[in-house]
């Protein structure tokens, strides 16, 4: 039995990831971003090990979530599933002055990694759109480029892939991988997506629980349990280091 924390786990892929893991009799800590979603999660997951509440769109709330989640740990596995999509017509800022997609999708999982005890396994949810992501070291938050919400989302998924591979490189004791769940019928994926939500969770569950050689290899980008070639930017050591350094500067917290 493993203890597993899944962020963004009240809806969509995250909820199905949590449910599949609970059904396999693991101790799962569910994450809800607000009190309203917590109420639904208590009905949906009465058999969860615990439920923690906290938004991922501010430095203070992300720090508080790390503390609440840590109180129910330590964890064998952390699944960084929470994210917001790119279907927004205008660039929006958090209360800290950061671009909202970048904070929720990139700063937040970085901060949780830095602030929580490292697990044996870590899984970062990316997207096939990482292939369209651009590494713009001087404009990670779209402060100078004309706003393009879907491109900002694609960039954030490239950054998540970079984080997964950087964690794998820095911490050989952690099996860290990134997963493209596919185009899934969720609120984010939309009704025209071809694949059911259960399939979108399957690879994460396998990575979290299996002792297969392929599931215990670190530093991979996977889809349907198969390793894919990542965006070349994710393989560039200097770019990954620059991303981590900028995230440390913005958040004020550093990787252990």
The catalytic site residues sit at 153, 157
**23/4 Cα distance (integer angstroms):** 13
Cβ distance 167 to 174 under 8 Å?
yes
CA atoms within 13 A on the CB side of 91: 16
Partners of 251 in the β-ladder: none
CA distance 77 to 72: 13
55, 52, 56: which is closest to 41 by C-alpha? 52
* CB 130 within 8 Å of CB 159: no
Do β-strands 121-125 and 221-223 pair in parallel, antiparallel, or remain unpaired? unpaired
């Amino acid at each position: 039995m493993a203890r597993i924390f899944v962020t963004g786990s009240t809806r969509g892929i995250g909820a199905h990831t949590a449910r599949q893991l609970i059904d396999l009799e693991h101790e799962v800590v569910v994450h809800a971003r607000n009190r309203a979603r917590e109420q639904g999660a208590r009905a949906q997951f009465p058999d969860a090990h615990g439920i923690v509440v906290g938004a991922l769109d501010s430095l203070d709330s992300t720090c508080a979530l790390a503390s609440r989640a840590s109180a129910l740990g330590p964890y064998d596995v952390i699944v960084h599933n929470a994210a917001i999509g790119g279907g927004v017509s205008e660039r929006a800022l958090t209360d800290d002055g950061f671009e909202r997609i970048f904070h929720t999708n990139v700063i937040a999982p970085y901060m949780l990694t830095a602030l929580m005890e490292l697990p044996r396994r870590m899984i970062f949810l990316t997207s096939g759109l990482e292939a369209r992501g651009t590494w713009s070291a001087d404009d990670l938050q779209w402060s100078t480029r004309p706003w393009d919400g879907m491109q900002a989302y694609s960039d954030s998924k490239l950054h998540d892939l970079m984080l997964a591979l950087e964690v794998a490189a820095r911490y050989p004791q952690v099996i860290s991988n990134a997963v493209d769940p596919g185009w899934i019928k969720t609120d984010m994926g939309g009704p025209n997506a071809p694949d059911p939500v259960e399939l979108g969770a399957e690879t994460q569950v396998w990575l979290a629980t299996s002792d297969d050689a392929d599931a215990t290899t670190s530093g991979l980008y996977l889809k349907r349990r198969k390793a894919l070639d990542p965006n070349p930017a994710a393989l560039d050591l200097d770019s990954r280091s620059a991303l981590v350094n900028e995230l440390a500067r913005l958040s004020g917290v550093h990787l252990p």
